[in-house]
Copies of this chain bind each other. A is one copy, B any other.
Amino acid sequence: VSAMRTSQLQFHTRREAPQDAEARSHQLLVRGNYIRRLSSGIYHFMPLGYRVLTKVKAVIAEEFAEIGSSEVLLPALHPAELWEATGRRAVMDDVLFAIESKSGSFVLGPTHEEAAIHALAPDLASWRDLPASVFQIQTKFRDEPRARFGLMRTREFIMADGYTFDRDREAMRKSYANFREAYAKIFSRLCLNALAVEADSGAIGGDVNHEFMVPSVIGEDHFAECADCGYRANTEAATRGRREPATGGQRGLKEYVTPGAPGVTQAVKALVDQGEDVTQGSMLKCLVAKDSDGNTLVYAIPGDRELKLPAGVSLVSEDFFESHPGFVKGYIGPVGTAERGARLIVDPLVLEREWWASGANKADTHLVGLVPGRDFSPDEVTDLVWVIDGDDCPRCGGTLRLIRSVEIGHTFQLGTVYTARLNYARFTDSEGAQMPYWMGCYGIGVTRLLAVIAEQFSSQDQGLVWPVSVAPFAVSVIGVGGSSSKEVFDEVNTLSQLLDAAGIEVLQEDRGESSGVIFNDMELIGSPVWCVVGRRSLQEQMIEVRDRMNGVTELVPVPEVVGYVAQLLERLSQIIR
């Protein structure tokens, strides 16, 4: 192997990013010809993109092997029965690509819990065969309604997914800890500031699980963080710390006529106009819902908060109000909920204020001065609101901040949630009983990582500056100041060979293009270090070494360049973003 030359890169960079590319990473990956769109959410990986992908995959595979997980490759085509057996054919129906063919009904795997159990169960008949751990790096398919940000959310993507099988909860937790440790090493080698965040399990299921989030402007998610105690949870899972209920609410109850003011904003205005000192935060917002058993529920939360609807519950539609005249749409209040055949469920925040304004359960009328416990009594107190910036930490009482971020990995302690449903997912325990495996599963979005790394390691001015571990080339060697100069040409060649011999991946510029073209390309190819050989500096036996990550340029004596670059690369590998 010798140093790669730019003339050997078969494909061009482009001047323009596609119009639909909002994210900087998306623009740069397309302009640099790393990826090309075939269809919405479906991309070709061009040679440079494939090169980065290969490096990311290698880091993941090495660290998973390091914790004793064996690499496998499970199929993408799954017989539909496989998914029917666990009930997920229905649960994940909206994202499954389904195939009806001559040879049967299939789905394209969006994840591989079922397939992994099918592959491994025959080998894991006894507790002596456990623990077992496998992983694969494989293409997945999801019929995403909103493909976006280039590789961030796609319909065909590569995941690294691990699966562990254990005899009991404690052993499962050990396997889980091993994978979390591997995750930490992987993200550190990829130079990403990935934070483990408590998460909701969604369509995968199970108890404990963590998302790995990188704070980023292109994040589609948020997590809540407490700087004091380190509590981190995504917004689905995060709760707010409760305060003491307010006591001593003495204010009298007053009724106001508020015609045409069904919403919180209008009600506040109507009440303020009549001299009341109310705000959105002192309005009690009451929402009518039905649970899965058909019970009517009234949820009450502060007017400046958003309801986090519990699973299995849905808000009632227009029809409900027409057929239930006791519930006056836009004027629902907490008083007399039981008399109307409903349960009143309130967020803890409702008890933390002395009095509230709310609807009066009759048209065009509001009440001000509703005191919890005096004027209404909740049937249940439970967390009902999305956390917001500034809420109390549920663990230590500190202050929560919401951080925009991208999910790059997810780990799940599944327990027996799948294996209990599959009669072949059993092992014989040490007492001879047939028990379901305790499973863990672990996913990293490999193609998404390219987008995240490109976003974190780029700027509008500099273009891409890849981390050393995944850069297509660690160093670009470029001659400037006259392609006609034989000295420059020779030194570019010699230095490239020396760097290559030192085990450093080099891209040697050899096309004789103008500096403008060369540096434009080089900003898109994104080597973190450039060695720029100029005629004038070469006369003084110096070469310019640019540390693009820190924006520092040094003139280095020719004989010292290789050693200097090697040390620089070592230092740059430690930069985490």
Give A residues with C-beta under 8 Å from B: 8-12, 33, 36, 38-47, 49-51, 53-54, 68, 70-79, 82, 97-99, 101-104, 106, 108, 115, 118-120, 122-123, 129, 132-134, 139, 141, 143-145, 147, 155-156
Contact = CB atoms under 8 A, between A and B. Distances in A.
B77 A156 contact: yes
A108 B42 CA distance: 12
B73 A53 contact: yes
A72 B47 contact: yes
Contact of A143 (B73, B101, B155): B101
A36 B45 CA distance: 30
Nearest to A104: B39
B8 A68 contact: yes
Contacts of A147: 103
Contact of A75 (B9, B42, B98, B133): B42
Given A115-B38, A123-B12, A123-B33, A155 B47 contact: no
Given A49-B73, A98-B99, 14 more contacts: A8-B68, A11-B70, A11-B123, A12-B129, A36-B119, A39-B77, A42-B75, A44-B72, A50-B71, A76-B139, A97-B101, A97-B106, A102-B145, A103-B155
Given A47-B134, A119-B44, A143-B101, A156 B75 contact: yes
A206 B98 CA distance: 34
B47 A70 contact: yes
B50 A119 contact: no
B72 A118 contact: no
B10 A77 contact: no
Given A38-B79, A119-B38, A139-B76, A71 B99 contact: no
Instruction: Give the dominant DSSP class at A's interface.
Output: mixed
Contacts of A50: 70-73
A42 B79 CA distance: 9
A63 B44 CA distance: 22
5 contacts: A8-B68, A38-B74, A44-B115, A46-B72, A54-B71
B71 A38 contact: no
* Copies of this chain present: 2
A11 B144 CA distance: 36
Given A38-B78, A97-B101, A141-B77, A45 B72 contact: yes
A438 to B, nearest CB: 16
Contacts of A49: 73
A142 to B, nearest CB: 10
A70 to B, nearest CB: 4
B77 A76 contact: no
A108 B101 CA distance: 12
Contacts of A12: 123, 129
A122 B36 contact: yes
A41 B119 CA distance: 15
Nearest to A118: B38
Contacts of A144: 103
Contacts of A104: 39
A38 B74 CA distance: 9
Contacts of A11: 70, 120, 123, 132
Contacts of A98: 99, 101
Contacts of A8: 68
Given A68-B8, A97-B99, A38 B155 contact: no
Contacts of A79: 38-39, 42
Contacts of A40: 103
A47 B68 contact: no
Contact of A10 (B42, B82, B134, B139): B134
Contacts of A41: 103
A67 to B, nearest CB: 12
A134 B45 CA distance: 11
A167 to B, nearest CB: 15
CB-CB nearest 9 A-B residue pairs: A47-B70, A45-B73, A44-B119, A11-B123, A39-B79, A42-B75, A77-B156, A101-B143, A75-B156
A98 B97 CA distance: 10
A539 to B, nearest CB: 35
Contacts of A108: 99, 108
Contact of A70 (B10, B115, B120, B123): B10
A287 B45 CA distance: 52
A230 to B, nearest CB: 35
A473 to B, nearest CB: 14
A17 to B, nearest CB: 14
Nearest to A36: B119
Contacts of A44: 72-75, 115, 118-119
Contact of A103 (B74, B133, B139, B143): B143
Given A68-B8, A101-B97, A102-B145, A42 B132 contact: no
Contact of A42 (B39, B77, B143): B77
